[in-house]
Each structure stands twice: as structure tokens, then as C-alpha cells.
Structure 1
Amino acid sequence: MSTLIGIRGEDDNSIDALYSPAKEKAANRGAYSSRSPLLLRRARQLLGEAKLKLFLCFFALCVLVFVTSRLSSFMGWNPHYPSSVSSPSRGGYTVLINTWKRNSLLKQSVAHYASCSGTEAIHVVWSESDPPSESLKAYLKKIVFYKSQTAQKPNFKFDINEEDNLNNRFKPIEDLKTDAIFSVDDDVIVPCPTLNFAFTVWQSAPFAMVGFVPRMHWLEKAKHGDTYYKYGGWWSVWWMGTYSMVLSKAAFFHRKYLDLYTHKMPSPIHDYVSRERNCEDIAMSLLVANATSAPPIWVKGKIYEIGSSGISSLKEHSEKRNKCLSDFATLYGTIPLLSTNVKAVDARQEWFW
């Protein structure tokens, strides 16, 4: 039989208040059991707060890295990275601007390219019936002098042609001092750092066409079973992830192709370009591909088109380009274009590469 020991509490007036070790043990166990959920909830709360703080710190760090890396762009300043463009042993490039009755755009274009550190000369292909005015010549020479940031100012010259012909843009240039030609339309602006990067890409493959406007081609089967060539614009390149041309509206190529285009390319192609007033850029792409048996190189970079009109904006432009490819295939006897999915990217400007 168990023995109960009765002890009167000091502050307890009840005679029947009894002390029991079993009751004390049970009471203590109940206290601990009721305290455990509270401790568990508190631990979970602290863990959740720690995760939130860690996430906020990581987010703040990402924002800081992004802001500091893009601060120069926000302030309108472009860093000048060291490159072989400034190396006198390798030379710079000649900017060859094709223009047609858009003097305001021509002024903007000449002023911009004169400010690029790699520009050694600027030639304007002029094919209008009237020669450029003396005031226009004087203005452009003056703007080249003031916009250039190099001690040796770029040479500036109009290449005046007697007739309006798209083949004029690829005529050989006398007294040319650079191997590199940057062919560009008067309404296309390529930022100087991007242009200089493309020049370094061209230096690594000087006989390829290196440009910013990729296009593609493919064989299409007609309903009656015949095949014909299709010309694909930017959205086709984006969708398929491949290209076979870079357009001469913004592209580097070697000076020797000016001579080959004018003197070695089949004359029926010259006649075709003159008659159709189109596709001289496709003809140049065919010429380079035929000479190199290699695809062109697309350089990823932002370019800006400051004009709003041109033959490429016309509704029937795509149909004409399709016809050009098929007709050139007949005149050439083949289509030497090669497709590729390689593009050159400046890793200094990319987050992921």
C-alpha cells in the first residue's frame, strides 16, 4: 500500500492540501509539453525571417550589380575599351556611305562616323543627277574635322557618279588606304563601340562579310512541283535561328571585293541590278560566298535606322527579293550562299554568354 505524506503549505490554509511526488511529476510533464509547440513555432518563425532576410540581401546585391554595370549607359557614356582598332600597325576602316537625296540624314551619318576612333576615311557614294553643292561639301568637311576625336583627321571625299545606278556603291575607290570597308546606308547609325567591335571581328576573318543585318534563303516547292528560292527577312532569321547573308547596308568587307564586283562579276548581274533597281546587296553576298566558300558573320549589336523610307519599305519588296535569288541562281549557275547559326557577341556587354 502506498503511503501519502501530507505537508501543510506555508501559504496554504487548507488542511487537506497534500503534496504528492507523482502529481508534481505529472504537472512538470504537462508544463514541458505545453511549452514545446511554442518553441517549435518560434523556431519556425525565426527560420522564416532568416530566409526572407537572405532573399532581400540577394535581391539588393543583384540590383546593385545591375545598376553599377549599367550606370555608364544610364549617364549616356560609353566606355572605350582597348582594342586593336587604335593600333596603327593594323589600320582602321573606310566608311562608305550610300546616299540618295537625303542630305539631312547624310549630315547626321557623316557627323556620327567621323566621331568613331577607327574611322580613317569617309567616302560618300553620290549618284544624283546634280553634283553636291559647295555648301554641302564645305559643311561636311567642317563637321568631319570637328567631330573627329583623333589627331589624324579622317579623309573625306564624294565619289561622284554620272548615272543613277545601284552598282555605283561597289565601285573601286582610288587611293584607298585601308583594307577594311564599312558599307552603310545614309540612314543607318551604328554606335562607335559596336562598330569598333565588329571591326575586330572582321580582322579575325578579313575575307568574310561581317555585318549587323542578317538574312536567309531557302528552297521552296511550288504547287506544281517546281522549286524556287525564298528570301527571309529578320523574322525568318529569328524564327529559324540561321542566316546565310549579311546585308551591305551595314557590313564590313575587304576592299578587293569592290574590284571583283565591278570587273569580275558576270555582267548580266550588273544589268539585272541596274534594270530592277534592287538586290545589289544580294549580288555582293553571292560574290563573297563564291570567293570564300564560307558563310558571313553576324555581329550582335544595336543599330538605329533614322530614316523612314526606302525601297525595302515597299510592299512588293519581299517578292522582288525572292525573284532576285531565283534569277541570280540562273545567271550564276548556282547559289553559293552557306547557312550558319554563329553570331559574334561582345561578352563585355552581356550578362550571360
Structure 2
Amino acid sequence: MSTLIAIRDAALTAGGEYSPAKEKAANRGIYNGRSPLLHRRVKQLLGGLKFKLLFCLSLLCLVVWFSSKIGPFMGWDPDLSSSISVPNRGSYTVLINTWKRNSLLKQSVAHYASCSGTDAIHVIWSESDPPSDQLRAHLKNIVLKKSQTAHKPNFRFDLNEEDNLNNRFKPISDLRTDAIFSVDDDVIVPCRTLDFSFTVWQSAPHTMVGFVPRMHWLDEEKNGMAHYKYGGWWSVWWMGTYSMVLTKAAFFHQKYLDLYTNKMPSSIHDYVMRERNCEDIAMSLLVANATDTPPIWVKGKIYEIGSSGISSLNGHSDKRNKCLNDFVSLYGTMPLVSTNVKAVEARNEWFW
């Protein structure tokens, strides 16, 4: 009470009015000087900013750590598709099957020479007349001009004495890559898409990785034996499953060239040569039989630059059905494995 009376008396003596606020300020010792209060406010503000800054830095570190962990877990390195031109990341050999379509062959060679992952281009030539010197020189010049890397792809024709679809899978003795990209002369796969599919193949190098899926299913049993149906694109689209990728645009390991030519039953070779069809089904069965795993379908746009092929001919589906069942009977079992997995480059997708 004495303190309160003293403050009141001092205020009245000075000619001022008594104020509880002034009294409170006097008790706290800061009424006549605002600097201590300002100093405390600044300290409080700085303390809050330090806390927020520390929180943000901690959150950033957590995000970086989580990203580093989830990347390998998901199995995808987002930089792989853009950096495969680095020599130690590997490269592939492009195997182009052609038949009397030099204009398409020129376009195809020019395109694949421009892809950074191409180590070599081999043209499978099965015509009775060898390629002219003019065509050879022209294609070699195209390769040199179109290549975007310091290392220019090796280019050559692989000549065959007879017209035989088995020629496209003959072993090549001096290959420098494990990866083979088998493609028809009228199929163009954009380089970025091709490079992405190569990284997919690197994750599973003993299976086939391609862009053209096909399927099979058990149709019925005849005389106690299973009978299968061969399904084209619309069957794959409708059923959401597949068990083959066609070698008109597919990666596989170079060891399968030797297995196809030297280990597969000669009766299958004879069948392919006689029917002029189904070498791609034979290769799919071979790989599935060797690995007991399905192929991998890569989603990506490909372009067919030529006129319709044999798939557009009447009776094509029936012939493929017959091939499939005849090959299965020669194997004595159905080696194909079905799957519904599809490899997609996530950066090109709106939704995961």
C-alpha cells in the first residue's frame, strides 16, 4: 500500500493525473523508456524466425533423405534414360531386317544412327543379289552424318545366300554389346523411347523387352491335347494381359542368337523357312523356355513407315494359331508366361 500511495503522491505533486497504466509501468520500471520493451520484442521475433528456419531446414533434409531411399526402392533412376550415352552405361546393336525396300532401309538406318545408345547397325540382307556398292557407300555416309556422338556406330551388311526368316537370328561373332535391338526396316522407335526401353532391358537382361505385345490363351482340348489361341493387339487391349513381344521391335540378349540357331530344334527352323512366318513366335517361345519368365512390354509410340505387312493378309491369324500350336507340340509344353506388367516412363505420365 505504501508504494501505491507514493506513486499517487508523486503523480499529483508533478501536476499530473493518476493512471493505473502509469502505475503498472512504474512498477515494471519501463514507463519512461521504451527501449527495453522493444529489445525484448526483437528477441522474441528473432527467436521465432530461428525456430522456423530450423524447422524448414530439418524438413528439407528429411525430404532429401526420403527421396534417396525411395528412388532405389522403386527401381527407377530418373537420369538413366538421358545418360545412357556415357560409355560405361552400355550400348546396343541394332539388327535391321530388310527385304527389297531400300527407301525404307535408308530412313531406318538414318534414324537409328542418330540414337546415342547405338554402338553398331547390322542390316540382315537375304536377297539373291548383294547390295550395290552405291547403296553401301550411301548408308555408311548416312551413319557418319547422322551420328550425334564422337563414337560413330559400326555399320555393315550381314549377307545370306538364301531368303530365310531364320537369317535374322543368326549369331554375330564380333558383337561388342550384349544387347540386341531387333527391328524391321519399316519400324521407327523414337530415340528417347528406345533409350528408355534399353534401361528397362538392363534391369532384366535375360528376358525380352519390346513394344509390340501379343498373347495366348487356352482355347479347348482336342483329343486330350491343349489347343491355344494366338491373340493380336486387340486381344491384349481387351484382356489386359500378354505373353509375347514381337521381334519387329524388341531387345534381347545376344546369347539367344546362338540358342536360336544352334540349340533350338531344327524342325522349328524348317517350319519357319517353309511357312515364311512365325520366327518371332519361335524366339518368344525360346526365351520363355530358357527363363520361365514373361517378357516386358514398354509403353511408347512407334511408327510404321511402310505399307501393310503380312499381318494384313487374309488368313494371317489362322496361320499364327497353327504356328503357336505346332511349336508347342514340338516343345512338349507351353513355355509362355503371361503377365499384365507394363513399363512406363513416369515423367511422361499425368498420373501414376
Same-fold status (TM-score > 0.5): yes
Equivalence for 2:5:
none
| Offset, 1:223 | 9.0
Determine the C-alpha separation between the residues in 1 that align with 2:218 and 2:312.
24
Determine the C-alpha separation between the residues in 1 that align with 2:168 and 2:221.
35
Q: 1:31-46 to 2 correspondence within 5 Å?
A: none
The residue type paired with residue 325 of structure 2 is: S
Q: Look up the SS of the partner of 1:281 in the other structure.
A: helix
The question of whether the paired residues in 1 share the 8 Å contact of 2:81 and 2:196 is answered with no
Residue 271 (str. 1) matches residue 273 (str. 2) = no
Equivalence for 1:152:
151
Determine the C-alpha separation between the residues in 2 that align with 1:110 and 1:322.
33
Q: 1:78-227 to 2 correspondence within 5 Å?
A: 83-221=82-220, 227=226
Q: Look up the SS of the partner of 2:108 in the other structure.
A: helix
| Offset, 1:128 | 0.4
The residue type paired with residue 329 of structure 1 is: V
Residue 284 (str. 1) matches residue 283 (str. 2) = yes
The residue type paired with residue 186 of structure 1 is: D
Determine the C-alpha separation between the residues in 2 that align with 1:330 and 1:97.
30
Equivalence for 2:327:
328
The question of whether the paired residues in 2 share the 8 Å contact of 1:84 and 1:200 is answered with no
Determine the C-alpha separation between the residues in 2 that align with 1:220 and 1:142.
51
Unaligned runs of 5+ in 2: 1-78
Normalising by structure 1, we get a TM-score of 0.76
- Cα deviation per residue 1:148-175 (whole Å; 9 max; x = unaligned)? 0000100000000000000000000121
The residue type paired with residue 187 of structure 2 is: V
The question of whether the paired residues in 2 share the 8 Å contact of 1:125 and 1:159 is answered with yes
Determine the C-alpha separation between the residues in 2 that align with 1:310 and 1:136.
24
Q: Look up the SS of the partner of 2:290 in the other structure.
A: helix
The question of whether the paired residues in 1 share the 8 Å contact of 2:96 and 2:121 is answered with yes
The question of whether the paired residues in 2 share the 8 Å contact of 1:97 and 1:186 is answered with yes
- Cα deviation per residue 1:126-166 (whole Å; 9 max; x = unaligned)? 00000001110010000000000000100000000000000
Residue 252 (str. 1) matches residue 270 (str. 2) = no
| Offset, 1:229 | 1.2
Equivalence for 1:343:
342
Normalising by structure 2, we get a TM-score of 0.76
Determine the C-alpha separation between the residues in 1 that align with 2:230 and 2:312.
15
Determine the C-alpha separation between the residues in 1 that align with 2:132 and 2:108.
18
Residue 233 (str. 1) matches residue 232 (str. 2) = yes
- Cα deviation per residue 1:287-309 (whole Å; 9 max; x = unaligned)? 00011110000000000001113
The question of whether the paired residues in 1 share the 8 Å contact of 2:95 and 2:182 is answered with yes
Q: Look up the SS of the partner of 1:86 in the other structure.
A: coil
Determine the C-alpha separation between the residues in 2 that align with 1:254 and 1:93.
10
The question of whether the paired residues in 2 share the 8 Å contact of 1:298 and 1:344 is answered with yes
Unaligned runs of 5+ in 1: 1-79
**Number of residues paired by the alignment?**
274
Determine the C-alpha separation between the residues in 1 that align with 2:226 and 2:87.
50
Determine the C-alpha separation between the residues in 2 that align with 1:221 and 1:176.
44
Determine the C-alpha separation between the residues in 2 that align with 1:267 and 1:331.
10
| Offset, 1:86 | 1.8
- Cα deviation per residue 1:171-219 (whole Å; 9 max; x = unaligned)? 0012100000000000000000000000000000001100000000011
The residue type paired with residue 240 of structure 1 is: M
| Offset, 1:84 | 4.6
The question of whether the paired residues in 1 share the 8 Å contact of 2:97 and 2:168 is answered with yes
Q: Look up the SS of the partner of 1:184 in the other structure.
A: strand
Over 3 Å counting, the alpha-carbon distance change for 1:222 and 1:205 in structure 2 is closer
Determine the C-alpha separation between the residues in 2 that align with 1:227 and 1:119.
42
Q: Look up the SS of the partner of 2:337 in the other structure.
A: coil
Equivalence for 1:11:
none
Greater Cα offset, 226-235 or 334-343: 226-235
| Offset, 1:90 | 3.1
Q: Look up the SS of the partner of 1:329 in the other structure.
A: helix
- Cα deviation per residue 1:50-69 (whole Å; 9 max; x = unaligned)? xxxxxxxxxxxxxxxxxxxx
The question of whether the paired residues in 2 share the 8 Å contact of 1:83 and 1:200 is answered with no
The question of whether the paired residues in 1 share the 8 Å contact of 2:81 and 2:195 is answered with no
Over 3 Å counting, the alpha-carbon distance change for 1:88 and 1:147 in structure 2 is same
Q: Look up the SS of the partner of 1:89 in the other structure.
A: helix
Residue 310 (str. 1) matches residue 309 (str. 2) = yes
Aligned Cα root-mean-square deviation (Å) = 1.5
- Cα deviation per residue 1:199-251 (whole Å; 9 max; x = unaligned)? 00000000110000000001112799874211100000000000000000000
The residue type paired with residue 263 of structure 1 is: N
Determine the C-alpha separation between the residues in 2 that align with 1:81 and 1:302.
19
| Offset, 1:81 | 7.5
Determine the C-alpha separation between the residues in 1 that align with 2:222 and 2:205.
42
